[in-house]
Amino acid sequence: MYELLKTIDDPATLRKLDRKELHRLADELRQFVLESVSKTGGHLSSNLGTVELTIALHYVFNTPHDRIVWDVGHQTYPHKILTGRREAMARLRMFGGISGFPRRKESEYDTFGTAHSSTSISAALGMAVAAKRKGESRQVVAVIGDGAMSAGEAFEAMNNAGVLDTDLIVVLNDNEMSISPAVGGLNRYLARLMSGPYVAARKAGERLLKSMPHMLEFAKRVEGHAKGLVVPSTLFEEFGFNYIGPIDGHDLESLIPTLRNIKSANGPRFLHVVTRKGQGYKLAEADPVLYHGVSKFEPQSGIASGKGGGKLTYTQVFGDWLCDIAAADERIVGITPAMREGSGLVRFAAEYPDRYFDVGIAEQHAVTFAAGLACEGLKPVVAIYSTFLQRAYDQLIHDVCIQTLPVVFALDRAGLVGADGATHHGAFDLSFLRCLPNMVVMAPADENECRQMLYTATTLAGPAAVRYPRGSGTGAAIEAEMRALPVGKGEVRRTGRGVAILAFGSMLRTALDAAEELDATVANMRFVKPLDAALALELARSHALVVTIEENAVMGGAGSAVAEALAAAGVSVPILHLGLPDVFIDHGDQGQLLASVGLDKAGVVAAIRARLPGSGRAIQAA
């Protein structure tokens, strides 16, 4: 099995194959991806859809000298397998294993680190300009999906590329059939014509008409209108790109000649290929969304391995709450930047389609769109991952907070998210949110508190954020009734002596477990802003050591807020801040990652005892 694939250790070996062997290689590579991901979990549909495209790119271009920049990176497993990481796929996205996304430090073939959308054209343009300035002859190819093309950065880059005399190739991987009709023999013929003889004829015509600018301009207009009759080229041509396609992204006999013709041309070139998510695996073809990101599963049946837990996830809690509040208040609307499933909005979208807005991969627009809705009396709820809100920080400040608009931000995946790693950890939201005037920031300790905090956010006259972790909570019973919590008020959950642990959000359970061993006092602080300064001061005055714990960067986070409050009141007490260190934390199991940074029970107990005098006895109250 995989006899041909096992001979490919790098693209140079791939390029030695006869073209007739590539079809067999594609079959083996697709089967290897399926088998591999079924054992490790990961992104499946998008990777099955780019097998032939990946083979063709590495077959035609002289990688790594020629640069390939993948957008997001969900589709790069075939690329990793063909670039020397076939055996490493056994530990994909695991602690100490290879990443699920391109990483520069992992391979010279990963020319640009990605995971957030729509960066490829900008990065590739930078590389192309650098090559030109250094006098280096190389091709630079950006591979971007049609979803990523919905983000403004992609069009900003294209707008810039079109006015630079730079060799750049953009490959649009259209896997939703959202731009073009079905492809066939005619489109294949047109693609070859436009990438080969057409380009030569175009250049000859330009030279001939160069001395007659009016005729040259007229010819370009005629050309544009003529191409617009048969291919959707007008938009990309207006950006200054020579548009080629659409072509079948699973047809190697079309891909390879077309890419070779494009490679021999120069200037900005745009190749439109149409692929199918889940290609070759019928279950993924039938439901590419379900099989976009998977846990371990049995390939024949598609059934996930192991049994799931009975607890609700925070994402489910949010989705149910949004439907409940929408039933009670017709002003509620839900907004997502292309994360309906991930953010728990499937039910809401079905029950309230006229109040559900998926704006595409456009976080900046999502936030300002919400601000506009709030201006007119609606109550927008923006469901967004913590890591993606970073992309709309200026809009958060300028369009929401300065105007004190009542927008609710439901921040999913706050803290360490696991296998997606550094690019997706919600490590900074408490730090970048609490410094914003007019913003209320809440961190629930369990599922019911999450529901009540979300409701509380809708009752406020200004912006509010509720940040909650990935996965399930403690199994807390959820109250159907929605009630507003007193803003800026925490609660003491355990009374001990000597040590006071001020816990924020997801760290409460760990703090309580550690406190049992230390006989410490534990407070569920609930609000990061406004902070319950009175409670913090009370505990600081009655205990000899204050410990803050949060699943956020220590620098500028909730612990910093406590330290600032104590300093402002002139209270001097030893204080220990526990949280995420000043490094980018790698991928792995969530529990394993928390333990690696000392945020499990053992790590918390050890850190506190290290600050105690003697052999670890509790500090007596001052």
Structure confidence by residue, pLDDT tens digits, 179-190: 333 345 545 555
**Could you tell me the two tokens for 41?**
């979990």
Instruction: Specify whether the CB–CB gap between 382 and 407 falls below 8 A.
Output: yes
pLDDT tens digits, residue range 51-102?
Answer: 999 999 999 999 999 999 999 999 999 999 999 999 999 999 999 999 999 9
Residue 239 pLDDT exceeds 70: yes
Residue 208 pLDDT exceeds 80: no
pLDDT tens digits, residue range 266-297?
Answer: 999 999 999 999 999 999 999 988 899 999 99
pLDDT tens digits, residue range 96-124?
Answer: 999 999 999 999 999 999 999 999 999 99
Selected catalytic residue, list 277, 451, 470, 529: 277
Residue 267 Ramachandran class (φ > 0 left, ψ -120 to 50 alpha, else beta): left
Selected catalytic residue, list 52, 363, 449, 550: 363
Residue 236 Ramachandran class (φ > 0 left, ψ -120 to 50 alpha, else beta): alpha
Residue 226 pLDDT exceeds 80: no
Half-sphere exposure of 16 (CA within 13 A, CB side): 9
Q: Which is more confident, 202 or 251?
A: 251
80 is catalytic: no
**Could you tell me the two tokens for 463?**
């912006």
For the ranges 203-207, 345-349, 359-363, the lowest mean pLDDT is seen at 203-207
pLDDT tens digits, residue range 79-92?
Answer: 999 999 999 999 99
Strand order in the sheet with 521-524: 491-494, 521-524, 499-503, 545-553, 575-580
Residue 1's pLDDT band, with cuts at 50, 70 and 90, is confident
210 is catalytic: no
Selected catalytic residue, list 391, 413, 451, 470: 391
Non-local (6+) Cβ contacts of 504 within 8 A are 430, 443, 525, 528, 548, 549, 550, 551, 552, 558
> Mean pLDDT for the chain?
91
Q: What is the pLDDT of residue 199?
A: 61
Q: Where are the alpha helices (DSSP H) in 435-504?
A: 447-458
Residue 350 pLDDT exceeds 90: yes
133 is catalytic: no
Strand 575-580 to strand 545-553: parallel, antiparallel, or no bridges (unpaired)?
parallel
Residue 614's pLDDT band, with cuts at 50, 70 and 90, is low
Instruction: Specify whether the CB–CB gap between 585 and 419 falls below 8 A.
Output: no
From CA 101, how far away is CA 77, in angstroms rounded? 8
- The neighbour count for residue 324, using CB atoms within 10 Å, is 16
Q: What is the C-alpha radius of gyration for the chain, rounded to an integer number of angstroms? A: 27
